[in-house]
Amino acid sequence: MAAPEVKDVTLAADRPRELLAEKHAAYIAQWQGSSQSYEHVMSEYLCMSGLYWCLTAVDTLDQRDRRLQQGPIVDFVHSCFHTAAGGFGAAPQHDPHLLYTLSAVQILVSYDALRAEEREGVVRYVRGLQLADGSFQGDQWGEVDTRFSFCALATLALLNALPAVRVDAAAEYVLSCMNFDGGFGCGPGSETHAGQIYCCVGALALARKLYRVDADLLAFYLCERQLRSGGFNGRPEKLPDVCYSWWVLSALAVLGRLHWIDAPQLREFVLACQDAETGGFADRPGDMVDPFHTLFGITALALLGEPGLKPVHPIFCMPEDIIRRVVRDPVPLPQRPLPLARPLPAQERQRKQDD
């Protein structure tokens, strides 16, 4: 009986093979000042996250101050703060949520623009969302997900306020979501997923409980996500997607197993997802680009050591220079040479040119 065909993509011979940094910076910059467009109105619920994606992408390209206008960005974020509740919404007059609160804090600390009342309110808001079992609900409506555990701890870590919540209880809840394959799902008994692994590994690292994880077993599951195209999927029998380049790589970096994957082949896949005309990254080669995949394509390349990109922190998905400035007690991370920090041998470069 023939083995089932593995879902994957084929990289075109004329694919981009180098990082188109200037095109990506211009692509992101064009999203400024489009608040009256149909696309903006219909995606208003993504505004705060979208700002974070765009800001971090351009900052990783080391073009933030040249491409983006700080004043309008910071003013927008301030306008989304809820004084009574303490958190941030996705846009003005939207309810606060942990997802957008983390994005707002990431933006404001990047610009050193967080106000004292916002800091106090966010700490109060996050504390109020922790439940008896240590988990966190995303907002007042009660949805619980390990994503929110990460958002809560990451937000407080950026504010140097982790003791405001029951950190040990938060870690125990995350550990209760661990599966037989070493991975994590969105809740106890849920299917393992690379995106949730990133959240749970990050949360446990921030809680100083990462030693409770079987690092080799989990890293093996993550490495199994790499397909022949070089890209990663999020779980078995799924197509590769650029965003998983970040979710998988960052978790492997925190676990100290970044060297377990085929870095040059992953780079080929990520670069193939660029649009050589408009700039930006898509989920897969030939698809439509968007800011979400553009951020995670750029930050994945940064984790690999792509020349010209700023180093990125694998837990916070922010440039490391910001984390060094903001976080007083950073999590110790394994130190290993970046997979692409050294030029490829001449024969390997020639082989790739002949593909």
Question: Do residues 126 and 98 lie in contact, with contact meaning Cβ atoms separated by under 8 Å?
Answer: yes
- What is the pLDDT, as a whole number, of residue 102? 98
Kindly tell me if the per-residue pLDDT of 344 is higher than 90.
no
Which segment of 79-88, 137-146, 153-162, 333-342 scores lowest on mean pLDDT?
333-342
Name the DSSP class of 328. Answer: S
Q: What mean pLDDT comes out for the span 30-38?
A: 71
Of 33-42, 267-276, 308-317, the one with minimum mean pLDDT is 33-42
pLDDT number for residue 336: 66
Gap between the Cα atoms of 34 and 37, Å rounded: 6
Written as one string, the DSSP assignment of 172-233 is HHHHTTB-TTS-B-SSTTPPP-HHHHHHHHHHHHHTT-GGGS-HHHHHHHHHTTB-TTS-B-
pLDDT in tens, 52-101: 999 999 999 999 999 999 999 999 999 999 999 999 999 999 999 999 99
Length of the chain: 355
pLDDT, averaged across the chain? 92
Q: Would the pLDDT of 347 be above 50? A: no
Tens of pLDDT along 210-244? 999 999 999 999 999 999 999 999 999 999 999 99
Q: Are 246 and 195 in contact (CB under 8 A)?
A: no
pLDDT for the residue 41: 67
**Section 269-283 average pLDDT:** 97
Instruction: For residue 313, give the H/E element and its range.
Output: strand 312-313
The Cα-based distances of 116 to 86, 113, 123, 190 in angstroms read: 12, 10, 11, 39
pLDDT score recorded for residue 4: 65
Q: What is the arithmetic mean of pLDDT over 95-124? A: 98
H-run or E-run covering 318: strand 318-319
Are 331 and 313 contacting, i.e. CB atoms less than 8 angstroms apart? no
Is the whole model's pTM more than 0.85, yes or no? yes
- Residues 331-341 have a mean pLDDT of 75
Confidence of residue 37 (pLDDT cuts 50, 70, 90): low
